[in-house]
A and B are shown apart, each in its own frame.
Chain A
Amino acid sequence: MAYKPQYGPGTSIVAANRRKQMNPGQKLEKVRSVTDEDIVLILGHRAPGSAYPSAHPPLAEQQEPNCPMRKLVKPTDGAKAGDRVRYIQFADSMFNAPSQPYQRTYTECYRFRGIDPGTLSGRQIVECRERDLEKYSKELIETEMFDPALVGIRGATVHGHSLRLAEDGMMFDMLQRDVLGADGIVKYVKNQIGEPLDRAVAVGKPMDQKWLKAHTTIFHSLVGTSYRDDTEYVEYIQRIHSLRTKYGFMPKEE
């Protein structure tokens, strides 16, 4: 029988959401639409409409060494064109944000090619070739993995994921890159590193509490699903903890 990955344990809605995001066979729900130009503006790596700067000549113009691995692995569009490696970084609030750093990394590794994710406690960065990045970013922003209020696109000065939310429900951002307008739509007024944009970029309305609770991938005993309520998850973690502790003693069979 062919191997079928299980993606993760758990019986709660949080565990189901985690599996859904990780499983490349599952299509992520598209919640909002953001134009390609808007994505380029938020990323801030190049001016919209300008050509992609390159780090090396296109692969077709290069003399490739005779390497079996290169024959086996098909290059991504960005690698083929010789694009620079650029990044997008997300900060996710602990208050029921739809994705979380580790979750993002797992998801991206299952769904995208040619990426280099970096995972930290409150933020997650993913690096890849520029035109691949724009494609992946669009998917990460337009689908259910993003919420305008609880997820921030922050290249630097990311502080906010573990802080209380502002009165209007926005995650704290000391650079105030995104602002909740009077019309209820969140607009990015700065790019991800905090440079003001020429025009505001709308990323849609914040999702309501009910939606967030049903789509979150973080356990939170006060505002969402409690971790201890998912006995299967707890059992799994305890098993891993027990095994790795025992392995620390290098047990040997007599």
Chain B
Amino acid sequence: MMNATFPQVRIVPLRMLKPETAERLLNMLASITGIRRMMIHGPGLPKKVPYGPARGSPNPHSDRRAIHVGDAEIALRIAAGEVILEVEDASVIEEIRSLCDGFFTGFPYQLQEGRFMKTAPTLVDYAKYGPRADTMFIGLADPRNGEGPVLIRTER
């Protein structure tokens, strides 16, 4: 089981972020040493119209595109509403706070501390990944979705 003592924080801006802004924010966060895991959360932008008479027809959306964070490419499928982070220790939170204070100038944001991400596998994770799942990846990706988490390596 994963060490449950790692602090978690959540960055909640007052506005939903455009892909360009999310890309800048994530690149800024990727430059910080001490972030273990990161999750982008928000309402989905489906590839196909999910309901109604036009169900199943393509759904072009300018915000559903790939962004580049560090050396990795992330296919953004959501409108970025919040970023959840798991960090090594409390000093990293202060670094995140000071960087975010400078980043969010047009509209305010909240930095909340708490528990926002899974720290232990649930029954669903057990069913999906089996007994020897890598706990590092638990809760980072939707088990129903074939897409796994992205590993970001940055030059430090």
In-complex Cβ contact of B15 among A157, A164, A176 (8 A): A164
With A157-B50, A172-B43, A174-B59 known, 8 other A-B pairs at CB within 8 A are A156-B49, A172-B79, A174-B50, A174-B61, A174-B79, A176-B62, A193-B49, A193-B53
Within A187-219, the residues touching B (CB, 8 Å) are 193-196
B130 to chain A, nearest CB (A): 33
B54 located at the interface, meaning its Cβ lies under 8 Å from any Cβ of chain A in the complex: yes
Q: Are A195 and B57 in contact (CB under 8 A)?
A: yes
A156 to B49, CA, bound (A): 9
A156 to B54, CA, bound (A): 9
A179 located at the interface, meaning its Cβ lies under 8 Å from any Cβ of chain B in the complex: yes
A34 to B43, CA, bound (A): 31
Of the A-B pairs whose beta carbons lie under 8 Å apart in the complex, a sample of 30, sorted by A's number, is A156-B49, A157-B49, A157-B52, A163-B16, A163-B43, A163-B81, A164-B14, A164-B81, A166-B15, A166-B16, A167-B15, A167-B16, A167-B106, A167-B107, A172-B43, A174-B45, A174-B46, A175-B49, A175-B59, A175-B61, A176-B45, A176-B59, A176-B61, A176-B62, A176-B63, A179-B62, A193-B49, A193-B52, A194-B49, A196-B60
A5 to B61, CA, bound (A): 46
A140 located at the interface, meaning its Cβ lies under 8 Å from any Cβ of chain B in the complex: no
Which chain A residue lies CB-closest to B49?
A194
Count how many chain B residues have C-beta atoms less than 8 Å from C-beta atoms of the other chain.
28
| Chain A residues within an 8 Å CB radius of B18 | 166-168
Q: Are A156 and B51 in contact (CB under 8 A)?
A: yes
B17 located at the interface, meaning its Cβ lies under 8 Å from any Cβ of chain A in the complex: yes
Q: Are B54 and A193 in contact (CB under 8 A)?
A: yes
| Chain B residues within an 8 Å CB radius of A98 | none
A181 to chain B, nearest CB (A): 12
| Chain A residues within an 8 Å CB radius of B51 | 156-157
A85 located at the interface, meaning its Cβ lies under 8 Å from any Cβ of chain B in the complex: no
B16 to chain A, nearest CB (A): 5
B42 to chain A, nearest CB (A): 9
Q: C-beta contact mask, B34-73 vs A, less than 8 Å → 1, else 0? A: 0000000001111001111111010111110000000000
Q: C-beta contact mask, A130-172 vs B, less than 8 Å → 1, else 0? A: 0000000000000000000000000111011001111110001
Within B96-113, the residues touching A (CB, 8 Å) are 106-107
A194 to B50, CA, bound (A): 10
Give the dominant DSSP class at B's interface: loop
A165 to B59, CA, bound (A): 20
B21 located at the interface, meaning its Cβ lies under 8 Å from any Cβ of chain A in the complex: yes
Query: Which residues of chain A have a CB within 8 Å of any CB of chain B?
Result: 155-157, 159-160, 163-168, 172, 174-176, 179, 193-196
Which chain B residue lies CB-closest to A160?
B43
A212 to B144, CA, bound (A): 41
B92 to chain A, nearest CB (A): 26
Q: C-beta contact mask, B88-130 vs A, less than 8 Å → 1, else 0? A: 0000000000000000001100000000000000000000000
| Chain A residues within an 8 Å CB radius of B13 | 164
A196 to B49, CA, bound (A): 11
| Chain B residues within an 8 Å CB radius of A175 | 49, 59, 61
